[in-house]
């Protein structure tokens, strides 16, 4: 779980909860540490008092003994009294000579360990350095804490004649029981505090993030195309107030930008409209010019079929003039351009007439029916066909033997127009931009032809698609419903 990716509300909630847990752990650790320190100080102080009392008893026994006070007589002096001193003070007593060899002990001989038969060299060295007292702490065989002290036994002239070792096992069971009960009760308190903290953290995090949620909701509704409202909050923190002020300033600036953008878009729309109309008017002018030039070149007054040819040329020119008239009529309403007008059109003948104006012998026309009727705008159908054919002619300009095939297929619900060429094809990285306005690979042209015919086709509920392979060719597929 990535903590940084969590919401602010959850992070506040988790932080407060973890803070309670961490507080309990720290208090528990400090309590255990304090207990051990106090227990050690208490036992050490208690042991020091016992040591002082025992030394007083030992001194009383020594000074009332009939034996002379020297190392060799220590065993004789305390042979009977050492057990009495042990019973009174409840401390084990051992006496050694000045070299650390055991002289007498209050414990039975079979309980002596090898390490207790003599004082270690380390203890002897440190005892000599201190001259008076050496305290050690360890663990006995049963795992209990053990305190031991080493001091000199002095004669009346304060000259050392032996070494006294006192040690006893500390019984800390009562303190440990108290510690366990304290930690248990502390745990109960903290469990209760933990649940209270969860509830408190939940409501506190909700309160803190409530203002932020209001800001987030307002910001998610902000946009250039709508009326943006400013945020008005009551008593909030300084940081939230600054954030609200920054948002309100942004709303004012956004409104100004929206006005400027709307004006810019209107101007751009008029420019695009002018370019598109110019492009659409230019399309029929080219075939009209070709038709006139062809008529002028082939005109023969003595030809017996001159009237029929004149009629064909006239119909071709009239057809293109109708296209220009349709564009001019739609100029006043660019948003709905070109205006859609449905009529029963015989598609086979209209497409044949549209192809005739190109006068290219490599354009082949195939159809699977003699007559096909569809409800659509005749001039718009011509525009669709001529635009696609013109693109195909452009794609095959550098091909030695160009071939353009137009196939018209009729079905019960729709017609399908397929235009294929063996031209240069469309590059893979440009395929997604083919129907974008103002995109073109030609050196001339506005790049509005394909976007316009796509809009015309989709206006009739149809579709236009293409497949292309570079240096192989392109196939455009137009599907138009009959109704």
pLDDT tens per residue, range 2-52: 555 666 667 777 777 788 788 878 888 888 888 878 877 877 788 788 888
Return the structure tokens found at 454: 């796509």
Cα 43 versus chain centre, distance: 58
Instruction: Report the sign of the C-alpha dihedral through residues 64, 65, 69, 74, in that order.
Output: negative
Neighbours of 260 (CB within 10 A): 10
**Number of other CB atoms surrounding residue 193 within 10 Å:** 14
Q: What are phi and psi of 310, to 5 degrees?
A: -60, -40
Output the pLDDT for position 421: 94
Q: How far is CA 342 from CA 147, 376, 381, in A?
A: 112, 4, 11
* Residue 432 pLDDT exceeds 50: yes
Asked if 347 and 408 count as a contact pair (C-beta separation under 8 A), the reply is yes
Tell me how far apart the alpha carbons of residues 221 and 239 are, in angstroms, rounded to a whole number. Answer: 22
Q: Give the chain's domains with CATH numbers.
A: 3-176 (3.30.450.20), 277-481 (3.30.565.10)
Q: Is the peptide bond before 338 cis (omega within 30 degrees of 0)?
A: yes
Pair of tokens at residue 271: 């420019």
- pLDDT higher than 90, residue 292: no
Are 94 and 150 in contact, with CB atoms under 8 Å apart?
no
Report field, pTM of the whole predicted structure over 0.75:
no
Spatial CA neighbour of 392 closest among 366, 418, 420: 420
pLDDT of 114 reads: 47
Q: What is the DSSP letter of 340?
A: P
Q: What is the pLDDT of residues 137-164, one digit of tens each?
A: 655 545 566 778 888 888 888 888 888 8
Give the chain's length.
Answer: 483
DSSP-assigned letter for residue 369: S
Q: What tokens does 239 get?
A: 């940081």
CA 65 vs CA 58, 59, 84, 425: distances in Å: 11, 10, 15, 128
Of residues 417, 426, 386, 424, the one with CA closest to residue 402: 424
Q: CA-to-CA distance for 20 and 39, rounded, in angstroms?
A: 28
Q: State residue 63's pLDDT score.
A: 84
pLDDT-derived band at 388 (thresholds 50, 70, 90) equals very high
Residue, of 169 and 56, whose pLDDT is higher? 56
């Amino acid at each position: 779980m990535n903590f940084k990716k969590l919401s602010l509300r959850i992070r506040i909630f988790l932080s407060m909860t973890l803070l309670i847990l961490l507080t309990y752990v720290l208090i528990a650790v400090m309590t255990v540490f304090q207990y051990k320190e106090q227990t050690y100080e208490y036992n050490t102080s208690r042991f020091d008092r016992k040591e002082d009392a025992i030394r007083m008893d030992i001194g009383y026994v020594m000074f009332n003994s009939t034996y002379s006070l020297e190392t060799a007589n220590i065993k004789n002096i305390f042979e009977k009294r050492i057990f009495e001193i042990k019973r009174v003070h409840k401390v084990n007593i051992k006496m050694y000579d000045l070299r650390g060899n055991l002289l007498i002990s209050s414990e039975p001989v079979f309980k002596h360990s090898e390490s207790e038969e003599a004082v270690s060299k380390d203890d002897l060295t440190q005892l000599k350095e201190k001259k008076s007292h050496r305290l050690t702490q360890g663990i006995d065989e049963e795992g209990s804490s053990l305190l031991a002290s080493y001091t000199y036994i002095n004669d009346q002239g304060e000259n050392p004649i032996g070494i006294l070792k006192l040690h006893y096992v500390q019984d800390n069971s009562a303190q440990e029981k108290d510690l366990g009960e304290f930690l248990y009760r502390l745990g109960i308190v903290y469990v209760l505090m933990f649940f209270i903290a969860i509830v408190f953290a939940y409501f506190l995090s909700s309160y803190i993030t409530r203002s932020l949620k209001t800001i987030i909701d307002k910001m998610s509704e902000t946009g250039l195309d709508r009326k943006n409202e400013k945020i008005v909050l009551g008593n909030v923190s300084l940081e939230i107030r600054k954030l609200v002020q920054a948002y309100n300033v942004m709303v004012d600036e956004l409104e100004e930008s929206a006005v400027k953008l709307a004006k810019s878009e209107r101007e751009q729309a008029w420019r695009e409209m002018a370019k598109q109309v110019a492009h659409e008017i230019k399309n029929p002018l080219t075939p009209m010019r070709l038709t006139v030039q062809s008529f002028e070149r082939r005109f023969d007054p003595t030809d017996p079929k001159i009237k029929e040819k004149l009629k064909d040329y006239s119909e071709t020119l009239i057809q293109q003039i109708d296209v220009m008239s349709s564009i001019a009529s739609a100029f006043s309403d660019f948003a709905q351009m070109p205006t859609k007008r449905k009529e029963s059109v015989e598609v086979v003948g209209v497409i044949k007439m549209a192809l005739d104006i190109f006068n290219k012998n490599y354009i082949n026309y195939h159809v699977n029916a003699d007559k096909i009727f569809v409800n659509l705008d005749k001039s718009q159908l011509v525009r669709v066909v001529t635009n696609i054919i013109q693109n195909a002619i452009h794609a095959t300009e550098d091909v030695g033997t160009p071939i353009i095939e137009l196939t018209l297929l009729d079905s019960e619900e729709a017609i399908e127009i397929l235009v294929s060429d063996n031209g240069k094809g469309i590059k893979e990285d440009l395929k997604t931009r083919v129907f974008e306005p103002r995109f073109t690979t030609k050196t001339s042209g506005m790049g509005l032809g394909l976007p316009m015919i796509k809009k015309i086709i989709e206006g009739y509920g149809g579709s236009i698609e293409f497949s292309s392979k570079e240096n192989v060719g392109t196939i455009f597929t137009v599907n138009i419903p009959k109704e």
